Amino acid sequence: MFHLKKTDKSEIYKKGIAAGIAEIAYVLLVVIIMISIDKYMQQEVNMGMSMLTVLLLLVFSAAVSGLLVFGYPAFMALQKKYHQAVLTLLITLLTLFLGFIIVLLFNFIF
Protein backbone atom coordinates (compact mmCIF):
# COMPACT_ATOMS: atom_id res chain seq x y z
CA MET A 1 0.00 0.00 0.00
CA PHE A 2 2.43 2.69 1.18
CA HIS A 3 6.12 2.30 0.60
CA LEU A 4 8.39 3.22 3.46
CA LYS A 5 11.14 4.94 1.54
CA LYS A 6 13.75 7.33 2.79
CA THR A 7 12.55 10.93 2.51
CA ASP A 8 15.05 13.57 1.47
CA LYS A 9 15.15 16.94 3.21
CA SER A 10 14.24 18.97 0.12
CA GLU A 11 10.92 17.11 -0.11
CA ILE A 12 10.25 17.82 3.55
CA TYR A 13 11.02 21.52 3.03
CA LYS A 14 8.78 21.68 -0.03
CA LYS A 15 5.86 20.01 1.72
CA GLY A 16 6.24 22.20 4.81
CA ILE A 17 6.38 25.41 2.79
CA ALA A 18 3.48 24.26 0.60
CA ALA A 19 1.36 23.53 3.68
CA GLY A 20 2.15 26.97 5.12
CA ILE A 21 1.30 28.72 1.87
CA ALA A 22 -1.90 26.68 1.54
CA GLU A 23 -2.93 27.71 5.06
CA ILE A 24 -2.21 31.38 4.32
CA ALA A 25 -4.26 31.12 1.11
CA TYR A 26 -7.13 29.47 3.00
CA VAL A 27 -7.14 32.23 5.64
CA LEU A 28 -7.09 34.84 2.87
CA LEU A 29 -10.04 33.10 1.20
CA VAL A 30 -12.03 33.12 4.45
CA VAL A 31 -11.26 36.83 4.95
CA ILE A 32 -12.42 37.62 1.40
CA ILE A 33 -15.63 35.64 1.93
CA MET A 34 -16.34 37.38 5.25
CA ILE A 35 -15.75 40.83 3.72
CA SER A 36 -18.00 39.97 0.77
CA ILE A 37 -20.76 38.73 3.04
CA ASP A 38 -20.51 41.87 5.15
CA LYS A 39 -20.81 44.10 2.07
CA TYR A 40 -23.89 42.34 0.72
CA MET A 41 -25.68 41.93 4.04
CA GLN A 42 -26.30 45.51 5.06
CA GLN A 43 -29.82 44.66 6.24
CA GLU A 44 -30.88 43.64 9.72
CA VAL A 45 -29.98 40.04 10.42
CA ASN A 46 -31.07 37.61 13.09
CA MET A 47 -28.39 37.71 15.80
CA GLY A 48 -28.82 34.00 16.62
CA MET A 49 -28.36 32.92 13.02
CA SER A 50 -25.43 35.28 12.65
CA MET A 51 -23.65 33.80 15.68
CA LEU A 52 -24.43 30.27 14.48
CA THR A 53 -22.95 31.03 11.08
CA VAL A 54 -19.77 32.47 12.57
CA LEU A 55 -19.32 29.52 14.93
CA LEU A 56 -19.90 27.00 12.14
CA LEU A 57 -17.32 28.81 10.03
CA LEU A 58 -14.93 28.71 12.98
CA VAL A 59 -15.36 24.95 13.45
CA PHE A 60 -15.03 24.28 9.72
CA SER A 61 -11.93 26.49 9.53
CA ALA A 62 -10.36 24.74 12.50
CA ALA A 63 -10.87 21.38 10.79
CA VAL A 64 -9.44 22.56 7.46
CA SER A 65 -6.52 24.32 9.15
CA GLY A 66 -5.78 21.26 11.27
CA LEU A 67 -5.72 19.12 8.16
CA LEU A 68 -3.46 21.55 6.29
CA VAL A 69 -1.01 22.07 9.14
CA PHE A 70 -0.99 18.67 10.88
CA GLY A 71 -2.10 16.30 8.08
CA TYR A 72 1.23 15.43 6.50
CA PRO A 73 3.20 15.47 9.78
CA ALA A 74 0.64 13.07 11.28
CA PHE A 75 0.97 10.83 8.23
CA MET A 76 4.75 10.85 8.64
CA ALA A 77 4.46 10.10 12.35
CA LEU A 78 2.21 7.12 11.58
CA GLN A 79 5.01 5.81 9.37
CA LYS A 80 7.33 6.18 12.39
CA LYS A 81 9.28 8.99 10.73
CA TYR A 82 9.14 11.25 13.76
CA HIS A 83 12.10 13.44 12.85
CA GLN A 84 10.64 14.22 9.41
CA ALA A 85 7.20 14.82 10.92
CA VAL A 86 8.51 17.36 13.44
CA LEU A 87 10.69 19.03 10.81
CA THR A 88 7.75 19.37 8.40
CA LEU A 89 5.57 20.83 11.16
CA LEU A 90 8.27 23.33 12.17
CA ILE A 91 8.79 24.44 8.58
CA THR A 92 5.03 24.88 8.16
CA LEU A 93 4.83 26.96 11.33
CA LEU A 94 7.85 29.01 10.25
CA THR A 95 6.17 29.70 6.90
CA LEU A 96 3.01 30.81 8.72
CA PHE A 97 5.06 33.07 10.98
CA LEU A 98 6.84 34.63 8.00
CA GLY A 99 3.44 35.20 6.37
CA PHE A 100 2.30 36.90 9.58
CA ILE A 101 5.38 39.16 9.58
CA ILE A 102 4.80 40.09 5.93
CA VAL A 103 1.15 40.98 6.61
CA LEU A 104 2.16 42.96 9.69
CA LEU A 105 4.79 44.92 7.76
CA PHE A 106 2.30 45.49 4.94
CA ASN A 107 -0.17 46.96 7.46
CA PHE A 108 2.47 49.31 8.88
CA ILE A 109 3.62 50.49 5.44
CA PHE A 110 0.15 51.07 3.95
Domain-located, residue 94: yes
Q: What's the pLDDT at 51?
A: 84
CA distance 42 to 33: 15
Domain-located, residue 53: no
Domain-located, residue 59: no
pLDDT for 21 beyond 90: yes
CA distance 48 to 34: 17
Domain-located, residue 93: yes
pLDDT, tens digit, for every residue of 32-65?
Answer: 988 888 777 766 677 788 788 889 999 999 999 9
Domain containing 68 equals 10-39+64-109
Write the CB contacts of 90 (distance below 8 Å, at least 6 apart in sequence): 16
Alpha helices (runs of H) in the chain, residue ranges in sequence order? 9-40, 47-78, 82-109
pLDDT, tens digit, for every residue of 97-110?
Answer: 999 999 999 999 98
Domains contained in the chain, number: 1
Average pLDDT, the chain: 89
The pTM (predicted TM-score) of the whole model is 0.84
- Cβ contact 22:91 at 8 Å: no
Domain-located, residue 52: no
- Cβ contact 64:76 at 8 Å: no
Q: What's the pLDDT at 50?
A: 79
